[in-house]
Chain A
Amino acid sequence: MTMLELVCPAGTPASLRAAVGAGADTVYCGFADETNARNFPGLNFSREEMAAGIEYAHERGAKVLVAINTFPQAGNEVLWHRAVADAHTIGVDAVILADIGLLAHTAKHHASLRRHLSVQAAAANPDVINFYAEEFGVKRVVLPRVLSVPEIAAINREIDTETEVFVFGGLCVMEEGRCSLSSYATGQSPNMNGVCSPASHVVYEQSGGELVSKLGEFTIDKVGQDAPAPYPTLCKGCFSAGARTGHVFEDAISLDAATLIPQMAKAGVTALKIEGRQRSRAYVAAVVRSFRQAVEACAAGQPIPPSALANLSEGQDNTVGAYRKTWR
């Protein structure tokens, strides 16, 4: 079976080195500003760090992609244009874009720069993927986490573009690139500012063994002393709606689709993506190492080794998400 490409996260130069060392084929990163969807404090790369990271990766046979996957703000498009130009100059292997205007700009002014379509573009059917490929020369699309494996196979039968799917890490609600929950609570969103539930608006309080999480003016969760703590995102919050109290939007649980890798390969997928640019180099090394073993086992026709990554996951538990739809 074909060896699938392993696309791994790096929020810092140290994580980039950890990813390459653990067996990443490709590492994706972002500049330290609003042009990428992980614009968190203390995270991301300066231009000099990116250039050094690319040199480090290329010397070891790995590629580097730069995510410029937020939506340019009116009147400040130059920040995004400069990010694309600098990525091109520095020598990245591809840019990951979401905005149609930025795709058009890149196709026109940086035609030789390979373009991938971010999950933030939410392209989930052959028509829209073919549109992006024909109009903007997109070579690869990162599929949103709303599709089942048979749906991914159906898409791949009708497109020439490569597809990349998430196999591990945090899950978003089914509105990637369109979610306004964070904006509602804080005025900032992953789409425009690169931050979902910005840390500047998050407050944790320890109250008698209970952990209380607040986002902006909202208390979004309370967990008991021994319960796992969730991320402070509204989509994973615990709310009362009618007579029901619980995770109204989404359970605090993470994706782990390692067992589905052979099915992904059969469905025509080119690359497997690990989420987590906001995580440490310890996370990156452990997850990449585990998935390196899994893709090699798949390529050799052997069973996928059991994963031991639940302790790294939100909710300390995992799901295969929409890939195997069994929920309501």
Chain B
Amino acid sequence: MSSQSSTIPRLPSAIRILARPLPLPVLAMVMNRLARQMVRRHPSLFARLGTHAGKCFQIDPVDLPFVFHVFPVPDAPRITLHRRGRVRPWDGRIAGSLAALIGMVHGAYDGDALFFSRDIALEGDTAAVLALRNAIDDSELDLFEEFLAAFGPVGRYVKPGMLPLLGQLQKRTGVALRRAEFTS
């Protein structure tokens, strides 16, 4: 995938409308389970953050009606979700389309290139945001694998059946739904 703006899709407004009533506490519960699991599966991600691990990062997918606040403390990582417009304090902020943010996590897009092309915007503590970006890039995360791992043996059982569906979904939406090294 390239990092040209024209190739990065945006969520259709219908999905944005459908996402509005989602129960954020339930989503937060799932996200926190994933975060705790990531401490076990990717300890170097948290180590790379160094002193920045104690900070609050606002991850703002601009085509969703809510934002994520990530507190990547290794002992007790926490993610909270907030409706757009309800301002909470944060140290560093990364904003961009959901597809750009997921693509960056999956190594499909280069963060600096997304910044040059204005597909993402950074604010606040630039050093903290840079540390987070570099730590995530080094961890070679695959969010699909993380999600499956959270379900233990059940995840391993359903994986073969889900892979073709995910591949089709990636092809149709243009969103990098898997780690770039798995799809290139």
Contacts and interface: CB of A to CB of B under 8 A. Distances in A.
B52 A282 contact: no
Given A42-B49, A279-B110, A282-B180, A203 B116 contact: no
Contact of B118 (A14, A226, A286, A315): A226
B131 A42 contact: yes
B107 A41 contact: no
Contact of B138 (A13, A40, A231): A13
B122 A283 contact: no
Contacts of A131: none
A228 B137 contact: no
A229 B180 contact: no
Interface in A189-227: 198-200, 202-206, 211, 225-227
Given A225-B118, A282-B107, A12 B134 contact: yes
A225 B3 CA distance: 18
A278 interface: yes
Given A282-B108, A313-B116, A41 B121 contact: no
A280 B110 contact: yes
Interface string A281-304: 111011000000000000000000
A14 B112 contact: no
B36 interface: no
A277 B108 CA distance: 17
Interface in A228-286: 228-231, 278-283, 285-286
B123 to A, nearest CB: 6
B121 A204 contact: yes
Interface centre among B104, B116, B140 (most CB of A within 10 A): B116
A42 B132 contact: yes
A230 B107 CA distance: 22
B126 A229 contact: no
B114 to A, nearest CB: 10
A316 B117 contact: yes
Interface in B94-122: 104, 107-113, 115-118, 121-122
A229 B50 contact: no
Interface residues of A, number: 42
A164 interface: no
A76 interface: no
Nearest to A284: B110
A141 to B, nearest CB: 28
Contacts of B110: 279-280, 282-283, 286, 312
A14 B113 contact: no
Contacts of B127: 41, 198-200, 202
A43 B116 CA distance: 20
Given A14-B140, A41-B128, A312-B110, A204 B118 contact: no
B109 to A, nearest CB: 6
B139 interface: yes
Given A199-B130, A278-B112, A42 B118 contact: no
B173 interface: no
B117 A41 contact: no
Contacts of A11: 134
Nearest to A231: B112
A311 interface: yes
Interface string B155-184: 000000000000000000000000011001
Nearest to B135: A42
Contacts of B3: 282, 311-312
B130 A41 contact: yes
A314 B122 contact: no
A229 B134 contact: no
Interface string B138-163: 11100000000000000000000000
Contacts of A198: 127
Nearest to B140: A14
Contacts of A21: 181
B82 interface: no
Interface of A: 11-15, 18, 21, 40-43, 198-200, 202-206, 211, 225-231, 278-283, 285-286, 308, 311-316
> 8 closest A-B pairs (Cβ-Cβ)?
A42-B134, A42-B131, A41-B131, A12-B138, A199-B127, A283-B110, A202-B126, A200-B127
16 contacts: A14-B139, A21-B181, A41-B134, A42-B131, A42-B133, A199-B130, A204-B123, A204-B126, A206-B121, A206-B123, A211-B118, A228-B118, A282-B107, A282-B113, A283-B110, A312-B112
Given A42-B134, A282-B137, A285-B180, 18 more contacts: A12-B134, A13-B138, A14-B140, A15-B138, A42-B130, A42-B133, A42-B135, A42-B138, A43-B134, A204-B121, A204-B122, A279-B112, A280-B104, A281-B138, A282-B109, A282-B110, A282-B113, A311-B4
